[in-house]
Structure 1
């Protein structure tokens, strides 16, 4: 098989998934290829981030690499450029760092961060991947994806601090609270001395695509500010970022 044929088949698989999540058999039927061929192609595309598997042995869907490429094809409409003004405003209002992240497998990949000048600054997490269960950005994604949440809770939940949620039932209970409130708080759950709050960024159809978050030193964040009001502030900002 030539390189051109391989590319053509890969795009055929991606076009099939553009209609919605599907399993190997369904995709093979749509593109007219053997299941073994489609399975190998999906494995390669998954490694590249072009597709992602919703659950072990389950359906596949378009991955973040393709979503970011599609957004970049529309000048000024990429996720980062859409979110930047909101990061600036959140950092100004709260005096703390604000950032965005996207799902990457069972991790959150941090894409951008704006940190205001202060004597005590938090680390810039841009480019880092952090397990979803340990951070509120991941928890708001899991709250909107029951299949992924189920997949994660079946495995071992890594502990980072004494307050990291490592019990499956406790994580599911947290996700119920996130669904109710529309935002998630974490108090020193990933890193000691760091508190954060996050809300989901959704498509116009309601699908969770990313997370918007604010975080700061536990010594001052939230401090004497009302955690619920801060959560609502972040949620309102996230609701104003919509991807078509």
Structure 2
């Protein structure tokens, strides 16, 4: 590992997690770097356009350059391009968040979403990450992942709420249920507000490459409503599979993380 790169990325992550500009001393404390080391790193990141100094120069904040880089990557993703209009169509049937997620290591990452139209909602942003065992989309991706991914996840079952799955045997039961019924649910497992329902999206080879989910507070989520959501999700997942070049022509497979085994 190149230590200077590790330190620079650590500073970017710290700044991204703050909802306001940060002072040098606070960045230093959060990163574990000395103030002089943090200062030099921040000046380099400023010169490269990733960080800006606000006010009298004593506060640091991110620029939009990281967003620009990420947006270009997402825009070139053939799965996102194929799925986005179908996500929009699905959002016309439901008031909750509609999200498209893929797996990176032991986390699910939101690569596209249509924001909820409900008055009371949970916010989902592009690039949002969550451990696979805590959200419905992540559970779908985990259920069809290679055995070594499931084994690694079973050793990293971090608790977020009282309902988070933290027992490996309970996780194995959940995975078996998802594979049998073809969809996943998550109720208050990443935070107390969120509920979700998700189904898999498959490549032309049958590999699960992504998850399509509906999420939000949904306090009135009955078994009947879950059934309605699953029907909507499966219908629109099939549309995405037909529209995606990676499904029909085998193109674009490199634009998403390597599909997990079904």
TM norm. shorter chain > 0.5: yes
* Aligned-partner SS, 1:196: strand
**Structure 2 residue aligned with 1:176:** 176
Residues 44-78 of structure 1 show CA distances to partners (whole Å, capped at 9, x for unaligned) of xxxxxxxxxxxxxxxxxxxxxxxx97x93xxxx71
For the 8 Å contact 1:87–1:99, the answer to whether it is kept is yes
Which stretches of structure 1, 4 residues or longer, exceed 2 Å deviation after superposition? 222-226
**Structure 2 residue aligned with 1:119:** 119
**Structure 1 residue aligned with 2:192:** 192
Q: Which has the larger radius of gyration?
A: 2
Provide the rounded CA distance (Å) in 2 between the counterparts of 1:181 and 1:82.
26
**Structure 2 residue aligned with 1:5:** none
- How far residue 142 of structure 1 moved from its aligned partner, in angstroms, is 1.5
* Equivalence map 1:1-244=2 (5 Å): 72=76, 78-147=78-147, 148-153=149-154, 155-220=155-220, 222=221, 225-242=224-241, 243-244=246-247
Aligned residues: 171
* Aligned-partner SS, 1:241: helix
* Aligned-partner SS, 2:98: strand
* Aligned-partner SS, 1:174: helix
For the 8 Å contact 1:110–1:126, the answer to whether it is kept is yes
For the 8 Å contact 1:96–1:116, the answer to whether it is kept is yes
Provide the rounded CA distance (Å) in 1 between the counterparts of 2:234 and 2:196.
13
- How far residue 235 of structure 1 moved from its aligned partner, in angstroms, is 2.2
- How far residue 240 of structure 1 moved from its aligned partner, in angstroms, is 2.3
For the 8 Å contact 1:187–1:218, the answer to whether it is kept is no
* Aligned-partner SS, 1:240: helix
- How far residue 114 of structure 1 moved from its aligned partner, in angstroms, is 0.5
For the 8 Å contact 2:137–2:199, the answer to whether it is kept is yes
Residues 23-52 of structure 1 show CA distances to partners (whole Å, capped at 9, x for unaligned) of xxxxxxxxxxxxxxxxxxxxxxxxxxxxxx
Provide the rounded CA distance (Å) in 2 between the counterparts of 1:102 and 1:135.
12
Residues 68-99 of structure 1 show CA distances to partners (whole Å, capped at 9, x for unaligned) of 97x93xxxx71111111221122111211101
**Structure 2 residue aligned with 1:32:** none
For the 8 Å contact 1:115–1:121, the answer to whether it is kept is no
For the 8 Å contact 2:122–2:193, the answer to whether it is kept is no
| Unpaired stretches in structure 2, ≥5 consecutive residues | 1-71, 248-262
* Aligned-partner SS, 1:93: coil
